[in-house]
Amino acid sequence: MPVSTAEKVLLHLQSYNLREEQPGEWRCNSPLRPNADSQSFYVKIDGPEHGTWFDHVSTESGSLYDLAQRLGIALPQQPQAAQPTKRGYTGLADYAQAHGVTEAVYVRWGWQETQRDGRPALGFPTATGRRWRFLDGQKPTFSSPAGYQPCWYGLAEAVTLAQTTNQPLVLCNGEPSVVASQHWGLPACCVTSSGEKLLKQQQLDELKAAWSGPILIALDCDQKGRTAAPKLAAQVGGLVIDLGGSQGFDLADFGFLHQGQSVQALAQLCLLYTSPSPRDGLLSRMPSSA
């Protein structure tokens, strides 16, 4: 689930010696008065988006949203909309543009225009054979040869990127998202033709052999993705990140939205999802958002 305003406020107040007096009631040094050290600032949380605050020294008070704004915390907005990718395309350039990158980005991964079963398609190589993404807007959307075995897509490149940039590995859904996301510096990979399924033992073994660092699960913002993400996280020992978008929003949309700031934006999600209580030691291994 997206990080609430209450969680963001409590995270911010951690640096002001925040302590919980009883469930839902917190006290800390005032973040609104420089050098305050009297533990006179009181915050009451009534829900993810509701609460109040009171400063016993200045006698100021207000709502949770009022405090968030004074702390420079953005208030909730409408979820970011997914790009309309479930449509027909005129070619690779049109398809790439819908994913926020240029045609050349997909060409570097071996994608090219072709025909498959009499339908216009984009063919691209994978470790276990060629796959196709149809362009006519009809179903099925993807095609694989008979007997095709799902395999890792972009894993080696993602591991190299994660190592050189000190980021977690990111498991997403779909080869197109891997290509677009890596363009924006996100160490994304996926298993081909797998949807939101758990990894097979061979795939899990390959992942463990290639990467021993932290892993983020960033599946699509829909019911299938939100149902599958916790199961996949439990299997690989990862952390689920909700990208905060509308129905169908995915990692490619996240990159399209943040572009050159994608790494920093994802790092901020890591920080929020591992605070104020670190999960399984992941906080110490997450990159900073600076």
**How far is 138 from 277, CA to CA, in rounded Å?**
46
Predicted pLDDT at 237: 93
> For residue 276, what pLDDT is reported?
44
Which residue ranges of the chain lie beneath pLDDT 70?
Answer: 1-2, 77-79, 271-290
> Tell me, what's the pLDDT at 55?
93
pLDDT computed for residue 2 by the predictor: 66
| Per-residue model confidence (pLDDT) at position 283 | 34
What pLDDT, on the 0 to 100 scale, is given for residue 76?
A: 74
For residue 48, the model assigns a pLDDT of: 83
CB atoms inside a 10 Å sphere around CB 78: 6
pLDDT (tens digit per residue) in 28-67: 999 999 999 999 999 999 878 788 889 999 988 888 888 9
At 231 the pLDDT is 92
What pLDDT is attached to residue 271? Answer: 64
